[in-house]
Amino acid sequence: MNDTTQFPPSFTWGVATSAFQIEGAAAEDGKGPSIWDTFCQQPGKIIDASNGDIACDHYHRYADDVDLMAALNIDAYRFSIAWSRVQPDGKGAWNERGFDFYDRLLDTLARKGLAAHLTLYHWDLPQGLQNEGGWLSRDTCHHFADYAQEVARRFGDRVQTIATHNEPWCTTNLGYGNGQFAPGVADAKSAVQVSHHLLLSHGLALQAMRAGGTKAKLGIVLNQWTADPATDSEADRQLARLEYARSVEWFMDPLFKGRYPELALEAHGANSPVIFENDFNDIGQALDFLGVNYYTRAFCSAEIPPRKPQGGLGFTDMDWEIYPQGLTDLLLGLQREYRLPPIYITENGMANADRLVNGHIADAERIDYVRSHLVALAAAMQQGVDVRGYFLWSLLDNFEWNSGYLKRFGIVHVDYETQRRTLKDSAIWYRNFIDAQRGR
């Protein structure tokens, strides 16, 4: 693995964040509560009993954070809008002070020459909508389309891309499948129905934004992985096929093939979703781009206890296997199976047990992780996969959902007591890597 891998001159280099994880200002300037604000108040839900009230205080420090990005010589910034900041109840009146924040952020990015890539939904549903059924209600799909249309009307000519959802698999399986994420429901039938409504809301939102004539490229961001059998046993191979069908194909097939995968539908059985007559037509809107988030693979073992991957490149601080080859395999598999639009790697990175020592953070493990995944990405591109950009997750250490502040994904260290930002070695490496790509 080396730093000489060449990407096209037009390739976009960026970093990514999400609103709830960094913004703070949880109840300022008219912002309404989201399901994550509510979830954090429930004892035992967040491992370190923290919340997103302050987080990285990005709401007040955004200009300094944009300066940090500019200093890294990146091209682009991927961020999300907090729906309840701009529409406190998820329907009804818009909150101009909330929109003002994103207006200022976009102005600041433009002044620094950074392209904006906007995500509409990164898991923080307005609590007002949750009170009326949340993603279990089809009404939420229509409220989401109204929200999307308004954001695109205001900002569509100032952002390069708009993604409807970030990782609907997580909302489905962690929010409703096992209750690990907000809103904390553990019900298999609800989870499957929610997945369908997320896809439907995506399609309705694309139609609403296009009807408004937005100039931004429109798409969706899916977290994906290969599913590899632990052994050659038929049981492991069958488990791997089912895992891929229930995760990758479950979201890709409706978007590109107008149906759900048979294998997954059979497995869901009576929990399969209620689907209205025109739903697949609504879901299957043409995509200008597909965002792919890749962190690790699924290692599928039917043994009890399950067999674990041996050796290899080790594990991240989330205990996720480091498996860059999976990124190559995933992209080539998608290319074989679907008629794909251009792809962005919208997230890739690792949690590492970083230590600040004498003002310095040596995170060689993260550098190795990113470097090896960029080599894997280049290998897929050399075999014809049309990838237009790479967004490293994440710019800042931040609120890592139910792990609270215990896990650090950032290339910039955040001291949560003082809010001091410190570039890690990985940030400097990333800047130098990008400069080398541009021949500087």
Give the residue among 173, 187, 186, 266 at the shortest CA–CA distance from 225.
173
Q: Could you please report the per-residue DSSP string of 152-204?
A: HHHHTTT-SEEEEEE-HHHIIIIIIISSSSTT----HHHHHHHHHHHHHHHHH
Quick one: CA dihedral 120, 121, 124, 127, positive or negative?
A: positive
Residue 374 included in any domain:
yes
Residue 140 included in any domain:
yes
Q: Quick check: 105 and 66 in contact, CB under 8 A? A: yes
DSSP helix/strand/coil, 285? coil
Listed in sequence order, the residues at least 6 apart from 16 whose beta carbon sits closer than 8 Å to its beta carbon are 77, 78, 79, 346, 347, 391, 392, 393, 394, 395
Q: Quick check: 407 and 320 in contact, CB under 8 A? A: no
Residue 417 included in any domain:
yes
Q: Quick check: 255 and 199 in contact, CB under 8 A? A: yes
Residue 2 included in any domain:
no
Residues 175 and 193: their CA atoms lie apart, in Å, by 12
pLDDT at 1: 40
Domains: count for the chain: 1
Residues 266 and 271: their CA atoms lie apart, in Å, by 10
Q: Quick check: 207 and 288 in contact, CB under 8 A? A: no
Can you give the CATH number for the domain in which 252 is found? 3.20.20.80
Residues 127 and 26: their CA atoms lie apart, in Å, by 13
Q: What is the pLDDT tens value at each position of the chain, 440 positions in all?
A: 455 689 999 999 999 999 999 999 999 999 999 999 999 999 999 999 999 999 999 999 999 999 999 999 999 999 999 999 999 999 999 999 999 999 999 999 999 999 999 999 999 999 999 999 999 999 999 999 999 999 999 999 999 999 999 999 999 999 999 999 999 999 999 999 999 999 999 999 999 999 999 999 999 999 999 999 999 999 999 999 999 999 999 999 999 999 999 999 999 999 999 999 999 999 999 999 999 999 999 999 999 999 999 989 999 999 999 999 999 999 999 999 999 999 999 999 999 999 999 999 999 999 999 999 999 999 999 999 999 999 999 999 999 999 999 999 999 999 999 999 999 999 999 999 999 999 87
Q: Quick check: 224 and 292 in contact, CB under 8 A? A: yes
Q: Quick check: 49 and 63 in contact, CB under 8 A? A: no
Residue 58 included in any domain:
yes
Give the residue among 22, 95, 141 at the shortest CA–CA distance from 398.
22
Quick one: CA dihedral 204, 187, 122, 86, positive or negative?
A: positive
Domain that holds residue 201: 12-437
Residue 96 included in any domain:
yes
The DSSP symbol for 126 reads B
Residues 194 and 165: their CA atoms lie apart, in Å, by 13
Active site residues: 167, 347
Q: Quick check: 325 and 376 in contact, CB under 8 A? A: yes
pLDDT at 440: 73
Hey, how many other C-beta atoms are within 10 angstroms of the C-beta on 30?
Answer: 15
Q: Dihedrals φ, ψ of 280, to 5°?
A: -70, -30
Residue 1 included in any domain:
no
Residue 4 included in any domain:
no
Place of tokens 């037509």: 281
Beta pairing, strands 412-415 & 420-423: antiparallel
pLDDT at 3: 56
Quick one: CA dihedral 160, 379, 349, 46, positive or negative?
A: positive
Over the stretch 245-294, which tens digit does the pLDDT of each residue have? 999 999 999 999 999 999 999 999 999 999 999 999 999 999 999 999 99
